[in-house]
Homo-oligomer: A and B are copies of this chain.
Amino acid sequence: MPSLFGRLMPRSQSFSTAFTSLAENTHEGSAVFVEMVEKYDGAEGYVNRIKEIEHAGDNMTHALLTHLNQTFITPFDREDIYMLAGRVDDVLDLIDAAARAFVTYRIARVRQGVVDLAKVLHQATGKVVAAVHVLGKQDHILDHCIEINRLENEGDRLSRKLIAELFDEEKDPVQIIKWKEIIETIETAVDKCEDVANVIETITLKNA
């Protein structure tokens, strides 16, 4: 239990550290996912590792929000902290969902181009780490956000191409259903990185 003084003081430091850990955890999840689709051997082991990372993320988010609710003065607007934690968590949830779909759907081999899409996601989570790391410090933060937006466009373009190829090449409707969902889930994870960037941008502009 912190002293009253401790509870009233801005805790820029502790929130920044907590967000950096949260973002790094999500980035680790996307790294494991890239490895899974690249090697594609023993998907279940990778899925279990991502599941553990996701549980760790849940605990970090929970601790951060509990801290937030017990802190009187916060370095950034309370809603923005809440929103930022939620959006970083969303990315990891989608990585977990994408990975598990490979097991649920008993995917035998990974379609051409899906590894590239996973790599775009991994680049985006890397930029989320970079942006969160300098949160409130203004240094290059908007550059990171612009780069996340660029990666989101790249992910959008690539997933659209993969979906078009899927419908052109695949004749089995069941395979179409499976892969459409997997591709869209990865793409939505990249999208959510842009949502993170938008919250970071809002926090940065408010504190300018």
Residue of B nearest to A149 (CB): B58
Name the residue in A70, A174, A208 with the highest tally of chain B Cβ atoms < 10 Å from its Cβ: A174
Q: Specify which of B69, B105, B167 is in contact with A206 (CB 8 Å cutoff).
A: B69
- A168 CB to closest chain B CB, in angstroms? 8
| Chain A positions 61-81 with a Cβ under 8 Å from a chain B Cβ | 65-66, 69-70, 79
| Chain A positions 102-155 with a Cβ under 8 Å from a chain B Cβ | 104-106
Q: Which of the segments A11-19, A20-28, A176-184 contacts the partner chain?
A: A176-184
4 closest A-B pairs by beta carbon, nearest first, are A69-B205, A173-B173, A104-B164, A69-B206
A-B contact pairs, 24 of them (CB 8 A): A65-B202, A65-B205, A66-B205, A69-B202, A69-B205, A69-B208, A70-B205, A70-B208, A79-B79, A100-B160, A104-B160, A104-B164, A104-B167, A106-B167, A106-B168, A167-B174, A167-B178, A173-B173, A173-B174, A173-B177, A174-B176, A176-B177, A177-B177, A177-B180
Q: A69-B202, A100-B160 are in contact. List 13 more A-B contacts (CB 8 A).
A: A65-B205, A66-B205, A69-B205, A70-B205, A104-B160, A104-B163, A104-B167, A106-B167, A106-B168, A167-B178, A173-B174, A174-B176, A177-B177
